[in-house]
Amino acid sequence: MAKTSQKVRKAPKYKVREHNRCKVCGRPHGYMRKFGLCRVCFRELASKGELPGVTKSSW
């Protein structure tokens, strides 16, 4: 597990190989560029009110 985290932190040989990952959990899928988070972490932080400017929609 430690080797995997070191590989993720290390810059890739070529810029094209970079992949967006969540800042909180490191998840590569469901990534939202605007916030730098995956959908799971985004939902948790938004429901706690820790993301400024994000409100739950209702209609």
Which residue ranges are tagged as binding site for Zn(2+)? Answer: 22, 25, 38, 41
Name the region of 30 (left: φ>0; alpha: ψ -120 to 50; beta: rest): left
Per the annotation, binding residues are 22, 25, 38, 41
